[in-house]
Amino acid sequence: MHKQNIAREFSRAAAGYDQAAVLQREIAGRLLAGSPHLSGRVVDMGCGTGYVSRHLPDGLQVLALDIAQGMLQQARHLASADAYVNADAEALPLQEGCADAVVSSLAVQWCHHPARMFAEVWRVLRPGGWLCLTTLGPRTLWELRAAWAAVDQEEHVNRFASLACWQQAAGHGWVNQHWQARDSVALYDSARQVMRDLKQLGASHTDAAEVHRGRALAGRQRLQALEHAYEQVCSGEALTVTYDVFYAYLQKPCNPL
């Protein structure tokens, strides 16, 4: 998926993002609750509408950074941080050792080269600084993927890397590494509501969508088939949407080699 398409989709979603981002706020809150004591200058990388920035402890100097200009504008409108930068996590326009911490919730899964992102974070962190992040694993939206598989053979759901892949990308230089995998589950009344929320979150774009942009991928008959298949997958009164979430807390050593 091209970075400009990612930025465009999230910019379009910025105004209505917070209304649909209930589970995203829960995950961000859990990330912050488990974070070590943070002080000094903190970069909120992939800040979105600035929820994490606004809920960091008082007394910090917060830089909100996002690739989507629309998200950054919304974060600024909500007075989320002290400064705002439109940039890519894989090419941070920040000085070496300028940050005491980098926090990032549900953003880095859109990186094309996670190892490059980790290298950039390492570069901008001071010795002893922390990276605190959440990202998505391969079981994310498994119900929707299974339901679509009963309808057609196209890729409607993004695929995300395994925990082992993220750990490998992070490298071995960090100290006090702590990784945790934990599911977060949302309940919905209909598959249409699931699709509507994913679109409102800016997370409905896939490579397949680019290939088939000219086609009506979600016509009435297909949505009816999807709803029936989703009900069969969940086999309960409510439809579940699972987010396979990885939490990571990584410290750069005080005397890195």
Q: How confident is the model at residue 124 (pLDDT cuts 50, 70, 90)?
A: very high
Taking the domains of the chain in order of start, what are their residue ranges? 3-138+158-185+244-251
In this predicted structure, the answer to whether residue 14 has a pLDDT above a threshold of 60 is yes
- Under a CB-based contact definition with an 8 Å cutoff, are residues 64 and 123 in contact? no
In this predicted structure, the answer to whether residue 207 has a pLDDT above a threshold of 60 is no
Q: Would you state the pLDDT for residue 1?
A: 52
- Under a CB-based contact definition with an 8 Å cutoff, are residues 111 and 140 in contact? no
In this predicted structure, the answer to whether residue 216 has a pLDDT above a threshold of 90 is no
Q: How confident is the model at residue 199 (pLDDT cuts 50, 70, 90)?
A: confident
Q: What is the 3-state secondary structure (H, E, C) of 106-171?
A: CCHHHCCCHHHHHHHHHHHEEEEEEEEEEEECCCCCHHHHHHHHCCCCCCCCCCCCCHHHHHHHHC
In this predicted structure, the answer to whether residue 212 has a pLDDT above a threshold of 50 is no
What average pLDDT does range 153-169 have in this prediction? 93
Q: Would you state the pLDDT for residue 218?
A: 53
Q: Which CATH class is domain 3-138+158-185+244-251?
A: alpha beta
Q: How confident is the model at residue 206 (pLDDT cuts 50, 70, 90)?
A: low
In this predicted structure, the answer to whether residue 75 has a pLDDT above a threshold of 50 is yes
Q: Would you state the pLDDT for residue 46?
A: 97
Chain segment 220-249, per-residue pLDDT in tens: 888 889 999 999 999 877 899 999 999 999
What average pLDDT does range 182-194 have in this prediction? 90
Q: How confident is the model at residue 203 (pLDDT cuts 50, 70, 90)?
A: low
Average pLDDT over the chain reads 89
Q: Would you state the pLDDT for residue 204?
A: 55
Angle at 82 between CA 105 and CA 128, to 5 degrees: 60
Is 202 exposed, middle or buried (CB count within 10 Å of its CB: 0-12, 13-18, 19+)?
A: buried
What average pLDDT does range 96-118 have in this prediction? 97
Q: Would you state the pLDDT for residue 202?
A: 66
